[in-house]
């Protein structure tokens, strides 16, 4: 071809192709021509996935790359569990029809980095201590490592510490942070994540927050877990009993109250135990739900949180 700038560009392109080949060998990038990869709107996009972040281990700070521009095929971590890999491929295959719905977010959802589990401890405020207010919040990642654990000062004076259950004492409140501070920090972590928890509506209520239902996994409502524990699907079940039946471990023992870290880790363990079946069941329960309105029009990512960008598998609301 002609000399000059194009030659320079082609050398750059060769380097890019070499780097791509290396990433493909390592399994960080699917081979070119894979469904999803053609939809990249600009040539520089694939190169961006060569960031160290492509391996999915750098949760929860993933705001360096503008989220919506992720390339579908670069989403799997080398250390991903077989379950995650299976789930990843099933979604990639389901997109093979090359439909106009560019699924920008499947990579976002399919990385273990996009899962967190949460548990909150509450204390009693208000008349007779009947109001429940947040006093501690713990968040763990897919592997069960703690990514957030802080004591929180309720907005109203504490009437009942509920120590027997909450494990909270007056001592803890000395290092507590204000509710609004904690709320902002926690919501930043939960944004765009799939959030696991047990009777998780209580936690969201304490945070004065609603998480999109299709990205919530409540272990107290999971038919798959209940069936596995030999319980009726309508039975209400405690985290303690699920842990005993399915994980063969004892939690919430002793008189010091519950540990929100242990409870969040347990919820995540239970989720991972049945992850593939649970996600499949969600996928089949209501594949053709009409799009719901955007949850938070003020959020900068609101336009890509719209349901039309979500693969049908993830559209199904929680059971």
The reported pTM is: 0.57
Closest CA to 107 of 64, 71, 83, 61: 71
CA 274-277-280 angle, 5° bins: 140
Instruction: Report domain extents, the chain.
Output: 112-283
d(CA 48, CA 50): 5
Average pLDDT of span 136-165: 94
Instruction: Determine contact, residues 151/168, Cβ cutoff 8 Å.
Output: yes
Give residue 254's pLDDT.
65
Helix/strand/coil for 273: helix
Alpha helices in 195-259 (DSSP H): 200-206, 223-228, 239-242
Give the N- to C-terminal CA distance of the chain in Å, as an integer: 59
Distance separating alpha carbons of residues 20 and 32, to the nearest angstrom:
9
How many residues are present in the chain?
319
- Where do runs of H (alpha helix) occur along the chain? 5-26, 44-48, 82-94, 106-110, 163-166, 179-190, 200-206, 223-228, 239-242, 260-273, 275-285, 302-305, 312-315
What are the tens digits of pLDDT across the range 258-289?
788 999 999 999 999 999 999 998 888 765 55
Provide the CATH number for the domain formed by 112-283 in this structure.
3.30.420.10
User: What pLDDT is stored for residue 265 in this prediction?
Assistant: 95
- Kindly tell me if the per-residue pLDDT of 307 is higher than 70: no
- Convert the pLDDT of each residue in 229-262 to its tens digit: 888 888 888 898 898 889 888 777 666 667 889 9
In this prediction, what percent of the chain has a pLDDT beyond 70?
59
């Amino acid at each position: 071809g002609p000399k000059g700038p194009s030659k320079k560009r082609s050398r750059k392109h060769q380097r890019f192709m070499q780097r791509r080949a290396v990433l493909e060998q390592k399994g960080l990038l699917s081979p070119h021509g894979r469904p999803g990869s053609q939809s990249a709107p600009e040539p520089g996009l694939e190169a961006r996935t060569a960031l160290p972040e492509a391996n999915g281990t750098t949760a929860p700070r993933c705001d360096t790359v503008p989220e919506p521009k992720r390339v579908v095929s670069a989403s799997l971590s080398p250390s991903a569990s077989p379950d995650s890999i299976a789930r990843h491929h099933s979604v990639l295959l389901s997109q093979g029809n090359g439909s106009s719905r560019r699924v920008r977010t499947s990579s976002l959802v399919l990385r273990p980095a996009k899962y967190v589990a949460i548990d909150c401890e509450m204390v009693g405020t208000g008349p007779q201590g009947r109001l429940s207010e947040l006093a501690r919040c713990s968040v763990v990642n897919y592997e069960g490592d703690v990514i957030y654990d802080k004591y929180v000062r309720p907005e109203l004076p504490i009437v009942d510490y509920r120590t027997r259950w909450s494990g909270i004492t007056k001592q803890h409140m000395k290092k507590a942070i204000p509710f609004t501070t904690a709320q902002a920090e926690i919501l930043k972590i939960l944004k765009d994540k799939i959030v696991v928890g047990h009777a998780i509506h209580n936690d969201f209520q304490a945070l004065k927050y609603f998480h999109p239902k299709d990205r919530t996994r409540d272990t107290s409502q999971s038919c798959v877990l209940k069936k596995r524990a030999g319980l009726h699907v309508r039975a209400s079940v405690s985290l303690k009993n699920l842990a005993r039946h399915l994980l063969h471990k004892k939690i919430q023992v002793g008189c010091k109250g519950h540990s929100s870290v242990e409870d969040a880790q347990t919820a995540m363990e239970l989720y991972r135990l049945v992850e593939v079946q649970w996600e499949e069941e969600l996928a089949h329960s209501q594949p053709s739900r009409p799009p719901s309105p955007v949850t938070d029009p003020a959020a900068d990512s609101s336009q890509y949180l719209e349901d039309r960008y979500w693969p049908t598998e993830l559209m199904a609301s929680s059971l």
